[in-house]
Amino acid sequence: MLIIPAIDLKDGQCVRLKQGDMDEATVFSTSPGEQAAHWLAQGARRLHVVDLNGAFAGRQKNERAIREIVEALNGEIPIQLGGGIRDLDTIERILDRGISYVIIGTAAVKNPGFLRDACSAFPGQIIVGLDAKDGKVAVDGWSKLTGHDVISLAKKCEDYGVEGIIYTDIGRDGMLTGINIEATVRMAQALRTPVIASGGFSSLDDIRQLCEVESEGIFAAIAGRAIYDGTLAFADAQAEADRLSADFRWRKLTP
């Protein structure tokens, strides 16, 4: 189980939101590059970056901050980036700058043809971010709730050949109330594509619960506010995930 630290960018700063509300932003760092280097030093094996301004505007808005993050990591670990990505030229530019995976969110809902073309043009590098509340998909930085069933949409995305699905319960994101394990498992069971859990991650108990269902197809979990507030130490979180995942594999191999 991979634990992925998140860096959410708003106006060039590293912030965390509560339930996607841009007016409820807490600034944790004014230097995105230093924050990325911090997570690398703590043992991160992948970084999750979201351009929040871009998600609302429909185009990238924090390019300088993203460049700082790429330069700070210097290719040592993969970066997955989302927020305001709506066309193939933008994807190509992002990948050329050193990003490993591009996350498509709103555009996957509003323009499935774009997602299909992106998966074809950049195989193995497209991840879809599906944000939902009560099983319904939200778009435009979570500001609009659609009538799309999240699992049905995930299956369509899988058919296009996405590399992974990030599933976020927006009712829990930034609230430190724990990941919605049941909904995440339902999503993973419905797909062959690896699922990354997100939203509400708060404690080692969350890791333990996720590792118990890792075999359902849950590849990783994104950690945000908890590792910034100090509620959860990132290094401890990854160490616990490694221990439990190794234990699961050993038990699976033991007669």
Active site residues: 8, 131
Distance CA 29, CA 32 (A): 7
Would you call 152 helix, strand, or coil by DSSP? Answer: helix
DSSP code, position 142: T
Would you call 27 helix, strand, or coil by DSSP? Answer: strand
In sequence order, the 6+-apart residues with CB closer than 8 A to the CB of 112 are: 156, 160
How many C-beta atoms lie closer than 10 Å to residue 16's C-beta? 21
Distance CA 36, CA 46 (A): 10
What are the Cα distances from residue 176, in Å, to 76, 93, 142?
30, 35, 18
Give start and end residues of each alpha helix (H) in 52-203. Answer: 52-57, 63-73, 88-96, 106-110, 112-121, 150-160, 181-189
Would you call 243 helix, strand, or coil by DSSP? Answer: helix
